[in-house]
A and B are shown apart, each in its own frame.
Chain A
Amino acid sequence: MISSFAVQVNHLTHTYLTKQTEKEAVKSVSFHVSRGEFISIVGPSGCGKSTILSLIAGIFPYTDGEIVLFGEKVKGPSKRIGYMLQKDGLFDWRTVEENIRFGLEVQHQANREHIAFSYQLLKQVGLEHVAKFYPSQLSGGMRQRVALVRTLTMKPDILLLDEPFSALDIQHKLHLEELLISLLSQQEKTAILVTHDLEEAIAMSDRILVMGGNPGEVQQTFLVPEELRSLSPMKARGHPSFRPLFEALWQEVEKS
């Protein structure tokens, strides 16, 4: 069966177990993401939004419910997923070019064709001149771009973004948003962004889920209107319909 959804999350529940206690982080969360769609998940810290991404990425098994990617149930890390975290996680001891082929090495695909593709991406993000540099020689924005290249090198169909821009200053952040959207729209990729930045959520996504509560649940879904979706993140911020949506989103998040 070919599913029209890239990601289906059905009644997902996750409980963290420790010696002292058990803590329900996510409770019966359901949402679907279509192919090529960009959704954001916003909500207060502790509502389990990052947990949901880790579960979709298959980093650890979920307690109950199900996650289905392109019709297949998640049982562990999938090659169709690219995962980015707030911490870029570039390995200090590897140069930029060694970092971007890490995924290829792990999956035994470090052949000439794939490495050439990763260089091409590096060029697209404007960093081919630092290929031989170590991460400690790069700025935060450059490091996150390298991390993006490392993720996209694996040609994932779904990108999971866990606040990848929130440690950056506003200028780098806007540039990186633009870059990401232009790369994604070329390649028809599906993306789920977790963020606490409501402006970023509106500027980047097609749809926004507001989560709240503890354990977290989906409270409300906002559709971003077509006129904003068609604009780049930078231009969307200046559009007249941007502010009203922001107000509405703000009020919903405040409630949670």
Chain B
Amino acid sequence: MNKSWLERGAMSPNHARYLRETRITTIWVWVLRMGILVSFLWLWEWATNLRIIDPFLFSSPSRIWQLTSNMALSGELFGHVWLTTWETVCGFILGTILGIAIATLIWASPFLSRVLDPYLVVLNSMPKVALGPLFIVAMGAGFGSILAMAIAITIIITALVIHSSFQGVDQSYLILARSFGASRYQIFCKVIFPACIPDMIASLKVNVGLAWVGVIVGEFLVSKAGLGYLILYGFQVFNLTLVMVSLFIIAVISTLMYQFIAWLEHRLLRYRLGG
């Protein structure tokens, strides 16, 4: 690490010192992050090799890696990964869009909003996975039920959050739009909706996580394929390496999805940065 990189872009000796200190901190953060990961994996591998913990129960990094590469090479893995990812993406996008649609509907009619309020409260407090059997009966043991679960788990909370965000829009915006003669429809499209986009993205972020819960539980209940199915199957035949492989892949994909939304947020909300 040479000095010139640490002090790149410095305006003055003082600024150079500041830059060097911040950059060194950043390097340390990364070193420790990687250190934690590597030592955790190493400790796990070492402990299972010495039989301090039972590899049959807790598997080991090398076993997980071996199974992952075997399943990847045989092509078996991709079907499962693709199916679950597709279910999750459909689930959280549909759940968010439908939730925003409900929020719009009850915003458009305060009367309807009052009528529906107790139903929304009950539906929101209901544990949605408990509806699983109903979905299976209604839609069969397959894709439909799993998707329904992911949507059920995201839609109501999205509707409630976005509706309250619609109502929280700065009053002076509304008065101003009215004074220009804007209709209620124009006020919604030009003021309320754009003002709430940050909250919509925030609910997308939450919904990614929730949709995973819906899809995995859905696959536990009905599926013959997918990562949730692999977890359940691995558990039933006591192949815990398979369970770990599935968890590892879920961790990777859900992080990628979250990062994608964070990137989207950055793109859409550039006006907030002031730069």
Please list the residues of chain A having a beta carbon within 8 angstroms of any beta carbon in chain B. 54, 57-59, 76-79, 81-83, 85, 87, 89, 91-95, 102-103, 105-107, 134, 136-137, 154
Which of B15-23, B101-109, B175-183, B252-260 is near enough to bind chain A?
B175-183
Give every chain A residue within 8 A of B186 (Cβ-Cβ): 106
Question: Which secondary structure dominates where chain B touches chain A?
Answer: helix
Q: Are B271 and A103 in contact (CB under 8 A)?
A: no
Bound: A105/B189 CA distance, A: 12
Contact residue among B176, B182, B191, B271 (Cβ-Cβ distance under 8 Å from A134): B271
Answer whether residue B75 sits at the interface, using C-beta atoms and an 8 A cutoff: no
A92 touches B190 (CB 8 A): no
Q: Are B180 and A77 interface neighbours, CB within 8 A?
A: yes
Residues on A with beta carbons closer than 8 Å to the beta carbon of B173 = 89, 91
A154 touches B172 (CB 8 A): no
Q: Contact check, A87 vs B180: say whether CB atoms are below 8 A apart.
A: no
Contact B175 A85 (CB under 8 A): yes
- Are B175 and A77 touching (Cβ within 8 A)? no
Inter-chain CB contacts under 8 Å: number: 65
| Residue from B190, B195, B274 within 8 A of A102 (CB atoms) | B190
Q: Is the CB of B272 closer than 8 A to any CB of chain A?
A: yes
- B interface vs A, CB < 8 Å? 170, 172-173, 175-182, 186, 190-191, 194-195, 197, 271-275
Residues of chain B within 8 A (CB-CB) of A57 are 178-179
B272→A79 contact, CB < 8 A: no
Chain B, residue nearest A154 (CB) = B180
Asked whether B271 lies within 8 Å of A77 as measured between CB atoms, the reply is no
Q: Decide: B172 and A85 in contact? CB cutoff 8 A.
A: yes
Partner of B177, one of A76, A87, A106, A154: A106
* Contact yes or no, A102 B180, CB < 8 A: yes
Interface of A is mostly: loop
Q: Which of chain B's residues have a CB closer than 8 A to the CB of A103?
A: 180
Residue of A nearest to B182 (CB): A106
Between B179, B186, B197, B271, the greatest number of chain A beta carbons within 10 A of the residue's beta carbon is seen for B179
- Chain A residue, CB-CB nearest to B186: A106
Q: Is the CB of A107 within 8 A of B180?
A: yes
How far is the CB of A227 from the nearest CB of chain B, in Å?
Answer: 35
Q: With the chains together, A97 CA to B186 CA distance in Å?
A: 19
Complex partner residue of A107 from B170, B178, B181, B195, CB under 8 angstroms: B181
Residues of A close to B190: CB separation below 8 A: 102, 105-106
**Shortest beta-carbon distance from B97 to chain A in Å:** 20
Instruction: Decide if B274 touches A137 in the complex (CB within 8 Å).
Output: yes
Given contacts A92-B271, A93-B194, contact A77 B181 (CB under 8 A): yes
Which of B178, B195, B272 contacts A91, CB < 8 Å? Answer: B195
Q: How far is the CA of A171 from the CA of B191 in the complex (A)?
A: 32
Tell whether, in the assembled complex, residue A79 and residue B179 are in contact, meaning their CB atoms are under 8 Å apart.
Answer: no
Which 8 pairs across A and B sit closest by C-beta, in order of nearness?
A: A83-B179, A87-B172, A134-B271, A103-B180, A136-B274, A89-B176, A89-B172, A106-B182
Q: How far is the CA of A103 from the CA of B182 in the complex (A)?
A: 8
- Cα separation A83 to B274 with both chains bound (whole Å): 27
Report the Cα distance A91→B275, complex, angstroms: 16
Question: Contacts A77-B181, A79-B181, A136-B274: A91 and B175 contacting too (C-beta < 8 A)?
Answer: no
Q: A93-B195, A93-B197 are in contact. Are A106 and B175 (CB under 8 A)?
A: no
Most buried by A among B172, B177, B271: B271
Q: Are B195 and A106 in contact (CB under 8 A)?
A: no
